[in-house]
Amino acid sequence: MQNWMEWAVAFFLLLGGCFVLIGSIGLSRMPDFFMRLHGPTKATTLGMGGILLGSIFYFSLLQSVSVHELLITIFLLITAPISAHMLIKTALHHQLRAIERTGGERELKKGQQEGSPDTKKALAGDDKP
């Protein structure tokens, strides 16, 4: 393998690693559950993309063309928002509290109430513009 190829592979691996690390830092550093979700859903996706790009480069240059890493990227892009959505819906259902300065308190309450079917009927007429 040529020198510059090693540089390219190393660059993508390091870039990906950095973003995954930042996503994990966000997970532990943010003050409340809703803010914690942002790190793993976004930064980690790009990080995985970088690592998989490095993998594509490495195996394509070493052996024959290798593209099935693209599938991992596609499936990750499809599943990451869904899992984030399920987590945040669960948080709303359990009426988790956001930190004090979170704006849109009314919207949060509404989202939490909509989670339970009993209050849905009571709120149905409330939304008319």
Binding positions for another protein, rule: CB under 8 A: 19, 22-23, 25-26, 29-32, 34-35, 37-39, 41-43, 45-46, 64-68, 70-71, 74, 77-78, 80-82, 84-85, 88-89, 92, 98-99, 101-105, 107-108, 110-111, 114-115, 120, 123-124, 127-129
- The first and second tokens of residue 38, run together, are 């942002």
The residue (of 9 and 39) whose beta carbon lies closer to another protein is: 39
CA distance 7 to 25: 26
6/70 with CB nearer another protein: 70
Q: State which residue, 14 or 25, has the beta carbon closest to another protein.
A: 25
Distance, in Å, from the CA atom of 42 to the CA atom of 46, rounded to the nearest integer, reads: 7
| Distance in Å, CB of 94 to another protein, minimum | 13
Give CA–CA dist 92/108, Å, rounded.
8
Q: Which residue do the tokens 């691996």 mark?
A: 13
Q: Of 6 and 77, which has the nearer Cβ to another protein? A: 77
Burial class (CB in 10 A: 0-12, 13-18, 19+), 123: exposed
Cβ at position 110, least distance to another protein in Å: 7
